[in-house]
Amino acid sequence: MSTTTATTAGPNLGQVTVEYSPDGNTATILIDRASKLNALTLQLLNDLDTAVREVGASKARLVIVRTAGDKVFCVGADINHFADLSAAGMWRDWIATGHRAFDALARLRQPSIAVIDGLAFGGGLELALACDFRVIAAEAKVALPETGLGTVPGWGGTERATELTGRARAKELVLTRRQLTGDEAVSWGLATAAAPKAELEDTVARLSEELLTGAPLAVQLGKQLIDAAADGAPSRVLEALAGGLAAATQDLAEGVAAFRDKRPAQFTDN
C-alpha cells in the first residue's frame, strides 16, 4: 500500500509520497520535484514532516529516503522561495520548518537510510545527514555551499557535520564550500558506504537486510540509546531500562533459543 502527501498550489511544486514494502517492514519516503532538481520549499518540508510522522506511527521497521530523478539527490533549499523573506520570516518560517522536518526524521525510532544517487548540496546534504545511514554513489558529490550565497547552513548541517566529521573538517566543509565525492564522503565520515552507481541498489539492499534481520525492538532501542548517549545521557541508567524492556519481549527468548539451536532467529516483536 502507499500513501501520498502532495502539494496542490500549482505545477513544479513537487510531492512527497510514502510507499510500504509488501510485508510492511520497509517504508520508502520519496521527495519528487525532479523538474526543479528536488529543491526544497516550505510546502515540501511540511509534507516531509507529515510523511515522517506517518511512518513513525506505522509498523515499518526500516525507513529509506529517496528523491526523484537519477542525477541529483537534492540541491537544497529553493533560493527563489527564501531570497525575499524578511529576517523574521527566515527565522520564524524557513529555518524553523526545516529543523522541524529534519529533526523529526532524525528522531524516528526506526533506523533510516538516505540513498544519495547524485548531487546533494546544502539542504539536500542536511536532509541526508538527518538519516542514520547514508549510502552514496561514488560519482555523486556533496557540499555545504551556503557561505558562497552569503548565508550559512540552516537545517542542522553545522551540528550534524561536526558530529560526524569533527570540528576541523566541518569547518573546511562549510567555510571553503569544498565538494566531496562519494568515496571522500565515506572517508570523512559523512557517508556510510559508497558504490558505483550501477551497484548502489545492491549496497542499499545489503544494508537493509542487515538492519531488518535484527530483533525489531532491540534495533530501535539500540538507536535510541546511542542518540541519548551522544546527548550526554548516562548509559548505566538507560541501558538497564532498555535491557529490562527487551527482556520482556518474545524476541529475546527467540534469540536465545535460535542461538542454542544454531538456527536463524525468527523475530516478531515491533
- Cα–Cα distance between 248 and 236 in angstroms, integer? 19
88, three cell numbers: 523574521
DSSP H or E stretch at residue 72: strand 72-74
Residue 146 catalytic?
yes
Give the 3-state DSSP-derived string for 95-141, with helices as H, strands as E and coil as C: HHHHHHHHHHHHCCCCCEEEEECCEEECHHHHHHHCCCEEEEECCCE
Q: Which of 146, 184, 199, 254 is catalytic?
A: 146
Q: Which of 126, 139, 159, 254 is catalytic?
A: 126
Is residue 1 within 8 Å of residue 60, measured between CB atoms? no
Is residue 94 within 8 Å of residue 82, measured between CB atoms? yes
Q: Is 244 exposed, middle or buried (0-12, 13-18, 19+ CB in 10 A)?
A: exposed
177, three cell numbers: 564550500
The catalytic residue positions are: 126, 146
